[in-house]
Each structure stands twice: as structure tokens, then as C-alpha cells.
Amino acid sequence: MRWIVEIFAAFLFVVGLSGACFGQNVTGTISGTVFDSRGAVVPNVKVTVTNLDQNVAVRRITTDDRGEYVGASLPIGRYSVAAEIASFKRVVHSGLVLNVGDKLAVNFTLEVGAMNESVTVQADAVQVDTQSATATGVISGTQLKELSLNSRNYAQLVLLVPGASDSGNADQIFPGATAPIGTNLVTFQINGSRREENNWQVDGGDNVDRGSNLTLLSFPSIDAISEFRVVRGVYDTASSTTPRTRLLRVPSCATTILAGPLAALCGSRKSTSNATKHFSSSPKKRAALSRTPIRQAPSRMRG
């Protein structure tokens, strides 16, 4: 009986580790240190991390004895971070953009004053990851949806990352495991590495056919991807057990507020976007048809 309990406990332990790896793969981290005006660290400061896309405080943290805080496993999106403690002014860092795998450092310098006084610091448009030496490249959701892809396969956009090249002879990647001439191969080389050494992950899970390491198990639609990151050098322990290029994909709907029909949030294909049959009506009627532009988001999604 005891060995059954031990096996069950080991199973729960492995499941817990896999869940932790999943969260680490498709999320980001915001951390930092709180100082006073003289440069001394300030412990016991209340730090609130707010997701601006959802208008929800997702983390409430208290700084430790060294004045440090860590907000881990945060979904990608726009954030603000506020720090407050008695006898000091409240400081807010706003406009932070967290991409998949980011480790943003947000430090605070508190000024003496009342807590009802507030100082707001707007984040720079270009943010530098000072917490990691890993060389990465992020393909954003805007690039996924706005750039023309002849096969609607997100993998083609890997070539936008510095150091990426394609050793294949085909001019496109088909959206599936097979191609007209045989198997659909993914033959990217990152920073001169072998094309068989790439490690593709979807939502934290392995997506490589380990028979040849040249094909993928699935090709998610670009409408289902929020963004993806290419890790191309100086790999950390979360990247892989071996020094391979890692490509992470984040689901689109997982980071979107469900304020309307799911189809509208994940990208819909309406019949009004289809081409009009040439002989269906007169030219004037065809020109007068009301259509929603393909690249225009529904009004309920804006803001």
C-alpha cells in the first residue's frame, strides 16, 4: 500500500513541475528594488502590479528586508506598478509592456511626503531587459496579423529575427505536416546552428516531431497566437536542457478580456469579407455593399 502512495506522490510532484514550467514558458516577470531619496533600501513597502488590459491588480507584494520584490508568472500585456508606504509619496510606474519570457526591472525611489500624494513615471517606449543576458527576438501580434503570409503560417516570420536563415529550397511553409512534395520541413538555422537543433514549444509543450527534428506536430493559426519569442543565444535554465534555439508561442485568447463573442476576440472570418461574385449584381450594388475591413478590429475590442 505504501508504494502506491509513494508513486502517487511522485506523480503529483512531476505534474507540479510541469505546471511550473508551463507558467514560466508563456509568462513574464517584473521585479525590482525600492530605495529612499538617500539610496537606502526600504523594506515592507506595498507593491501593487496591475494589468492595464484587464484593469485588475494581479499581484500585491511586500518588499523584503533588502527592499526587493518579485512579481512572477505574469501574463503578457500592459502593466503599471505602484509602491506605497507610510511617510512617503506613492510612486507609480505606468505603461510597462511585458512580452513572453521578459524579465523587467522596475526600481523605485520614494520621496518623503504624504501617501495621498502621487508621483507617476511613464515607461520608455523601448524597454531593455537588464535581468537576463539571453539573446531573444519577439514577433508581436501586430506583425502576425498585418504582415502578408502566403500560407498563413506563423513560422515564416522567424526570418525577421536577427541571425535567422532558411536552408530549405521551398519558397513557403505549408500549414500542416505534409506538403505537395512530401513532408513539410522546418529548416531554419539560428546563428549558424544546425536546423535539427531547434526546440519549438507551444504553450510550454514540446512541438517537435522527434523522428527527424525537422517537422512540427502542429501549426497553430496566426489568429490563435498573441506573440512568439525566439531564444537564439546565451540560454538560461528555462530555455532548454541543451543549447538549442527555442521558439515560444503564446495563445491569443488567454490574454484577452472576454468582453464579447469569443470568435470576435480570436479573429473572425466573416462572409462579408469574401470577394463578391462578378455576376451577382451590378457594379453599383457591389460597390455599395457594406463590408468590415479585414484588418479593422471590432469597435467593442478597442480601448
For residue 96, give the nearest of 108, 105, 85, 86 by alpha carbon.
Answer: 105
Give the lowest-confidence range in 77-86, 137-146, 164-173, 185-194: 164-173
Residues 139 and 185 in one domain: yes
- 145 inside domain: yes
Domain boundaries, position 148? 135-255
Domain identity same for 117 and 165: no
Of 52, 101, 44, nearest to 72 (Cα)? 101
Instruction: Label residue 207 by pLDDT band (50, 70, 90).
Output: confident
Are residue 100 and residue 14 in the same domain, yes or no? yes
Query: Which pLDDT belongs to residue 300?
Result: 41
Q: What is the pLDDT of residues 263-283, one digit of tens each?
A: 333 344 445 555 555 555 555
Residues 165 and 188 in one domain: yes
Q: Are residues 112 and 25 in the same domain?
A: yes
- State whether 148 and 93 are in the same domain: no
Neighbours of 259 (CB within 10 A): 11
- The reply to whether 128 falls in a domain is no
- Mean of the pLDDT values across residues 70-92? 95
Is the same domain home to 112 and 147?
A: no
CATH number at residue 47: 2.60.40.1120
Same structural domain for residues 15 and 90? Answer: yes
Q: In terms of domains, do 117 and 154 share one?
A: no
7 falls in which pLDDT band (50, 70, 90)? low
What total of structural domains would you count in the chain? 2
Residue 112 gets which letter from DSSP? B
Same domain? For 144 and 247 the reply is: yes
